[in-house]
Amino acid sequence: MSDMGHDNPVLVELTRGTTVESCHRGAIAVADAQGERVLGLGDVESPILPRSAIKALQAMILVESCAADAFGLSDAELAVACASHSGDPVHIEAVRSLLGKAGLDESALACGAHWPISEKVTAELMRAGKHPLPIHNNCSGKHAGMLASAVHLGLDPRGYERPDHALQIRIGRLISEICGIRLSPDHAGIDGCSVPTWPLSLDALAQGFARFATGAGLAPARGRAAASLRRACFAHPVLVAGEGRFDTVAMASLAPSVFVKGGAEGVHCAALPELGLGIAVKVDDGAKRGAERAIAEVLAALVPEARTSLAGELEGELANWRGMRVGQIVASADLLQALAALETAARRAETSASSIV
């Protein structure tokens, strides 16, 4: 069993009154497509499980296999294939549509069911005395994309989610190549939605996202697949998550400079096409509030517009049940120091590049 987060630094703190009430440790990697490490804060070499943060990488097969073209998938359908969606009508429609184009319906989904992330839809289901269906599962778009890929590849879609299914083996190989790291099937875990999740270091994830950002380091067809998925997500940020959620808010205002995607257990990744960089964050304890604040800080350091777009996240006000301000979520001194150095280095690189005659 691999050790975890060897004394990772505190990235984010929660204050209430004059007390630091809670804190979140973790690690952050920023890299370019060649794997050059631009930032390594904490343990960026030990493997972590990326969970939903890599849905777009898992969705590459859908485009690269030409399934997307063959089935005439729209950008909306590609976006939901990369999504951890809220289960709103727009998401459900896109998933059904994707499945329909592949000649399937939602009975093929093996993701399991949970109450949709959307409180509105949950309330409607409860009001109607209904229970959620697999299609409400935030991963149903990813699964629809996987099913469509399997069908196009001439594979039996039954058991498509199993680690020994040819589709998952191909997806694993794709991720391995994009991230430049050997994946061991023996070490794969099972995700919440039943597909495999492979251990990857933050360094490798950052490199993978840098390559996803621009296509650099990828074969042309693969680079075009990445471009298609980026374009689709940038065109439909609401479909990638949902109204008011971090990834949607960020991409709605920062596309096409920022592609960003979170995953369970405090994972968050981003691809920055204009800078050719990838970012990978893992919060040791798995807290979403820690990961979202941490990646917001990294984005703000690298993409000035992000400081405005993510102002709410960066202010981090905590309110209680009566709406009284009771505390704040703040970036740690260690994180701010590391990012100040990053911001300086980024500006130097920009100046240096523009001074080459």
Binding site for a second copy (CB under 8 A): 1-5, 7, 10, 13-25, 47-49, 110-114, 122-123, 126-127, 129, 137, 186-194, 197, 199, 265-266, 283-287, 290, 320-324, 326-327
Distance in angstroms (rounded) separating the CA atoms of residues 106 and 144: 8
Single-letter residue type at 332:
S
In the bound state with a second copy, the residue whose beta carbon lies nearer, of 199 and 223, is 199
In the bound state with a second copy, the residue whose beta carbon lies nearer, of 180 and 199, is 199
In the bound state with a second copy, the residue whose beta carbon lies nearer, of 2 and 351, is 2
**Residue 256: is the preceding peptide bond cis (ω within 30°)?**
yes
Residue 23 CB, nearest approach to a second copy (Å): 5
Residue 14 CB, nearest approach to a second copy (Å): 7
Element (H, E) at 196: strand 196-197
Residue 11 CB, nearest approach to a second copy (Å): 11
In the bound state with a second copy, the residue whose beta carbon lies nearer, of 190 and 349, is 190
Task: Tell me what percent of the chain is helix, strand and coil, each rounded to the nearest 5.
Answer: 50, 15, 35
Residue 202 CB, nearest approach to a second copy (Å): 13
Residue 226 CB, nearest approach to a second copy (Å): 26
Only one residue has tokens 């990697």, namely 29
In the bound state with a second copy, the residue whose beta carbon lies nearer, of 198 and 234, is 198
SS3 329: strand
Comparing C-alpha atoms, which of 198, 188, 256 is closest to residue 57? 198
Comparing C-alpha atoms, which of 65, 82, 63 is closest to residue 73? 63
